[in-house]
Structures are given as structure tokens and as C-alpha cells.
Amino acid sequence: MQSDPNFQLRLPEGAQFADLQLRRCDNEAIDMDMDLVECICKLNQWDVAKVCENPGPVISTILSVWYKTHLAGGGTPDAVMESLRAPPALQ
């Protein structure tokens, strides 16, 4: 969604990356606290209805930007995010 290196993701005050409660579902999909995602969308003035119609780009932006900031600030690596960053295993 955003390729601007100066992009600043607005987050709820006091929110931590772990608050997303990122987890894998049985079908390898990713689940997270969508109430927090909705709050982030509102803070960044993104149309929540449009985001819900096509969540992929916005969710990817939130996860990648926030996780990068989280790690840069000394945050603990998240197992789900690390699995997404890892190259796919050869079969």
C-alpha cells in the first residue's frame, strides 16, 4: 500500500506489536485483533469499509511497518512474523 520511505504509521498510544495477537489459523491464514486494526485504520484516516473489502494491502502495511519499528526498538521477534519473512521451504 505505501512505498514512501517517510510513511509514518499512526498507532494507538501505548499499543505494542504483541497486542495484535497475531496467530496462524488451521488453513495457514493469519488472524489478529481486528478491533485494533480498525482503530489503526481510523487513526490513519483510512476508510474502514474499504479496508474490510480488500484487507490485504492495508494489513500488509500495518504488519510490515509496525514490525520493522518494533524490532528496531529492541522488540522481541514474533514467531508468526518471522515465518512470513522466511523464504518458503523447498519441497
> What per-residue confidence (pLDDT) applies to 1?
42
> What per-residue confidence (pLDDT) applies to 2?
46
Q: What is the mean pLDDT of residues 32-60?
A: 93
Q: Where do runs of H (alpha helix) occur along the chain?
A: 34-43, 48-53, 55-72, 79-85
d(CA 4, CA 77): 24
For residue range 50-78, what is the model confidence (pLDDT) as tens digits?
Answer: 998 999 999 999 999 999 999 999 999 99
Cβ-count burial 57-83 (b if 16+ within 10 Å, e if not): ebbebbbbbbbeebeeeeeeebebbee
> pTM value?
0.83
